[in-house]
Chain A
Amino acid sequence: MNASATVSLYTPRAAEIVSVADLTPEERLFRLRLCDGSELGHQPGQFVQLSIPGFTEAPISIASSPSRKGCFELAIRRAGFLTGEMHLKKTGDLVGIRGPFGNPFNLAELFDRELLLISGGCGLAPLRSLIQYCGDFPGRFGRVRILYGARNPEFILFRDDLQQWIDSGSFSCSLTVDNVTSGSCYEGATGFVHNLISTLDINPADCSAVIVGPPLMYRAVIDQLHCKGLPDDRIFLSLERQMRCGVGKCGHCTIDHLYCCQDGPVFRLDQLAGVKGAI
Chain B
Amino acid sequence: MKTIADLELVGFFRQLASDYDIRVPVLLPDGGRAFGSIDDGALALGGGALPTKPTAVFFPQDDTLFAQGSGGELLVPEHSRPLFIAGFTALDLRCLKFIDRFFADGFRDDVYFRTRESAVVATVSGYCGPDGALLPLANGDCDLEFIALRGQWLVRAYSNKGEAIALLIPGEASADAVAEVGALAAIVNPDEEVIKAASALLLVDAVPDSFWEEIAVNCIQCSGCNLVCPTCTCFGVQDWRYADRLERSRMWDSCQLDGFMREAGGHNPLGTDALRTRRRIHHKLAADMTKWGELGCFVCGRCDATCPTGIGIVAIARQMVAQYGSFQAG
List B residues 107-123 near A (Cβ within 8 Å). 107-111
Give complex CA distance A240, B110 in Å: 27
Interface size range on B against A: 35 or more
Chain B minimum-CB-distance residue to A247: B107
Interface size range on A against B: 35 or more
Q: Which of B67, B72, B76, B267 has the most CB of A within 10 A?
A: B76
Q: Are B80 and A2 in contact, with the CB atoms below 8 A?
A: yes
A257 and B109 in contact, given A3-B67, A5-B75, A54-B241 (Cβ under 8 angstroms) = no
Question: Is the CB of B103 closer than 8 A to any CB of chain A?
Answer: yes
Q: Are B235 and A9 in contact, with the CB atoms below 8 A?
A: no
Give complex CA distance A277, B283 in Å: 13
Question: Is the CB of A92 closer than 8 A to any CB of chain B?
Answer: no
Q: Which of chain A's residues have a CB closer than 8 A to the CB of B248? A: 10, 56
Question: Is the CB of B61 closer than 8 A to any CB of chain A?
Answer: no
Q: Are A3 and B239 in contact, with the CB atoms below 8 A?
A: no
List B residues 260-292 near A (Cβ within 8 Å). 260-265, 267, 269-270, 275, 279, 282-283, 286-288, 290-291
Q: Are B239 and A277 in contact, with the CB atoms below 8 A?
A: no
A63 to chain B, nearest CB (A): 17
A96 to chain B, nearest CB (A): 9
List B residues 231-250 near A (Cβ within 8 Å). 233-239, 241, 246, 248, 250
A53 and B68 in contact, given A6-B76, A242-B262 (Cβ under 8 angstroms) = yes
B107 to chain A, nearest CB (A): 4
A252 and B66 in contact, given A3-B78, A277-B269 (Cβ under 8 angstroms) = no
Chain B minimum-CB-distance residue to A244: B237
Q: Which of chain A's residues have a CB closer than 8 A to the CB of B265? A: 77, 79-80, 214, 240
Give complex CA distance A242, B288 in Å: 20
A251 and B253 in contact, given A1-B67, A277-B275 (Cβ under 8 angstroms) = yes
Q: Are A256 and B286 in contact, with the CB atoms below 8 A?
A: yes
Q: Which of chain B's residues have a CB closer than 8 A to the CB of A262? A: 106
Question: Is the CB of A227 closer than 8 A to any CB of chain B?
Answer: no
Contact of B107 among A2, A5, A248, A255 (CB under 8 A): A248
Q: Which of A3, A53, A276 has the most CB of B within 10 A?
A: A3
Q: Which of A54, A55, A214, A242 has the most CB of B within 10 A?
A: A242
Q: Are A2 and B77 in contact, with the CB atoms below 8 A?
A: yes
Q: Which of chain B's residues have a CB closer than 8 A to the CB of A54? A: 239, 241, 246
Question: Is the CB of B131 closer than 8 A to any CB of chain A?
Answer: no
A57 and B67 in contact, given A80-B264, A242-B261, A250-B250 (Cβ under 8 angstroms) = no
Give complex CA distance A157, B83 in Å: 53
Question: Is the CB of B56 closer than 8 A to any CB of chain A?
Answer: no
List B residues 271-330 near A (Cβ within 8 Å). 275, 279, 282-283, 286-288, 290-291
Q: Are B263 and A10 in contact, with the CB atoms below 8 A?
A: no
Q: Are A256 and B287 in contact, with the CB atoms below 8 A?
A: yes
Q: Are A251 and B235 in contact, with the CB atoms below 8 A?
A: yes
A171 to chain B, nearest CB (A): 28
Q: Are A252 and B234 in contact, with the CB atoms below 8 A?
A: yes
Chain B minimum-CB-distance residue to A59: B263
Q: Are B264 and A79 in contact, with the CB atoms below 8 A?
A: yes
Question: Is the CB of A229 closer than 8 A to any CB of chain B?
Answer: no
Q: Which of chain B's residues have a CB closer than 8 A to the CB of A274? A: 205
Question: Is the CB of B65 closer than 8 A to any CB of chain A?
Answer: yes
Contact of A255 among B68, B78, B269 (CB under 8 A): B269
Contact with B along A223-259 (1 / 0, CB 8 A): 0000000000000000011101101111111111100
Contact of A9 among B73, B111, B269 (CB under 8 A): B111
Identify 27 residue pairs between A and B in the complex whose beta-carbon atoms are under 8 Å apart, listed by A's number.
A1-B67, A2-B80, A4-B76, A8-B65, A8-B66, A9-B110, A9-B111, A10-B111, A14-B72, A54-B241, A214-B265, A244-B237, A245-B235, A245-B250, A248-B105, A249-B103, A249-B233, A250-B234, A252-B234, A252-B260, A254-B279, A254-B283, A256-B287, A257-B286, A257-B290, A274-B205, A276-B205
A residues apposed to B, CB below 8 Å: 1-11, 14, 53-58, 77, 79-81, 83, 94, 214-215, 240-242, 244-245, 247-257, 262, 274, 276-277
- Given A1-B77, A3-B76, A54-B239, 18 other A-B residues pairs in contact with their CB atoms under 8 A: A1-B75, A8-B65, A8-B110, A9-B108, A79-B264, A80-B264, A215-B267, A242-B261, A242-B262, A248-B105, A249-B102, A251-B235, A251-B255, A252-B236, A252-B261, A276-B205, A277-B269, A277-B275
Closest 10 CB pairs of A and B: A80-B264, A251-B234, A3-B75, A247-B107, A257-B287, A257-B290, A79-B264, A10-B65, A257-B291, A242-B263
